[in-house]
Structure 1
Amino acid sequence: MKKIIAAINMTLDGFCDHTAVIADEELHQHYTELLKNADTLLYGRITYQLMEYWRPFTENPTGNQSMDDFAAVMDNTPKIVFSHTLKSVDWKSAKLAARTLEEEVLELKKSNNDNGKDIYVGSPSLIVALTKLNLIDEYQICVHPVIAGSGLPLFKDISDRIVLKLQKTKTLGAGAVILYYEPISTKN
């Protein structure tokens, strides 16, 4: 069965702000490899629209190999977008969710397309919603050595205690640390 993996960047003080993190070559390479191993990406509207930034670089590369590689893999990875306001999406690899988040994720998890790839969730709101539904199998949190001071907290509105087990870490040259956690218990 496919795993649901929450993969996101955040500042040291727990905020999700893509403009605050250090997006260097090594980080782009890390996420390029991650997306190569993704069956599907799940995004909310805001994150989806932020990721559309990468679309033009597939036809007009930047000349920066790590950014261009990331743009290419982002363009090709299937995406499901959860939105109450979007009526359509025009990115060839994206589609709007036809069911609720829970229904969509449960269907994806048990799909017969067992290609060894997992489902990645990259939107703070979806990570929170799936955490509340106990559907996250692994958290891959990339903590950057930046204190933002304010912004969108990653685990906003989580009121239950969730115990995680550290599986491994990966340190990037610019000082970011990717923490790989598996949930082991939830206490209401």
Structure 2
Amino acid sequence: MRKIIAAINMTLDGFCDHTSGIADKEIHQHYADLLRTADAALYGRITYQLMEYWRTVLEKPTDDPEMNDFAIAIDGTPKIVFSRTLKNLDWKSAKLATRDLNSEVLELKQQVGKNVFVCSPSLILALTKAKLIDEFQLCVHPIIAGSGLVLFEDIKEKINLHLTDTKRFGCGAVILYYKPKHLG
């Protein structure tokens, strides 16, 4: 059975924004390694379109080997995109979901294989409400953004989590690994 893992960057004040974090070599390498442990990454339309940037890095590599490595890793990771407006995708490793989020995730969860990462705030929120997340990997950056998209803004009931691990980065970011207590 696969694990469904919410993996996202956020600021100290709880906002999710890929442009507000610290994108240094160490963090790029961490996420490249993480993607290599995935059978799939789930994206909503907005985050997917942000991630399409990495295709340009594949076409024209940078002077940063870790950025280039991340571009290779994300390109090789199968992506399932949930969108009401996109009709087709031209990234070879991406496909549009054909069912609703919960049905798609329940089927993925039942299969044997590697982890499935949920990488969009809207999908993380919906799957948290449905109690389908097995682990949260929240990379908290030492930044106070002051505004933005709040990850757990619409959660109406208390969810108890158990801290299972942490990982510190030289830039001051920390990944907090949590497991929902209802999973034991």
TM-score w.r.t. length of structure 1: 0.95
Return the letter of the residue paired with 2:181: I
- Work out the CA distance in 1 between the residues paired with 2:144 and 2:122: 21
Matches within 5 A, 1:124-163: 124-163=121-160
Aligned residues: 183
Q: Which position in structure 2 is the counterpart of 1:170?
A: 167
Please state whether the residue corresponding to 1:160 is helix, strand or coil: coil
- Work out the CA distance in 2 between the residues paired with 1:110 and 1:58: 33
- Work out the CA distance in 2 between the residues paired with 1:165 and 1:57: 37
Matches within 5 A, 1:73-92: 73-92=73-92
Deviation by residue 1:110-137 (Cα, 9 ceiling, x = unmatched): 12xx34x100000000000000000000
C-alpha deviation, 1:145, in angstroms: 0.2
- Work out the CA distance in 1 between the residues paired with 2:97 and 2:20: 29
More displaced 10-residue stretch of structure 1: 151-160 or 139-148: 151-160
Unaligned ranges ≥5, structure 1? none
RMSD of the TM alignment (CA)? 1.0
Please state whether the residue corresponding to 1:161 is helix, strand or coil: coil
- Work out the CA distance in 1 between the residues paired with 2:155 and 2:175: 21
Unaligned ranges ≥5, structure 2? none
Please state whether the residue corresponding to 2:131 is helix, strand or coil: coil
C-alpha deviation, 1:185, in angstroms: 3.4
Q: Does 1:6 align with 2:9?
A: no
Deviation by residue 1:57-83 (Cα, 9 ceiling, x = unmatched): 112211210000000010110000000
Please state whether the residue corresponding to 1:80 is helix, strand or coil: strand
Q: Percent of aligned pairs with the same residue?
A: 67
Please state whether the residue corresponding to 1:159 is helix, strand or coil: coil
Deviation >2 Å, runs of 4+: none
Q: Which position in structure 2 is the counterpart of 1:71?
A: 71
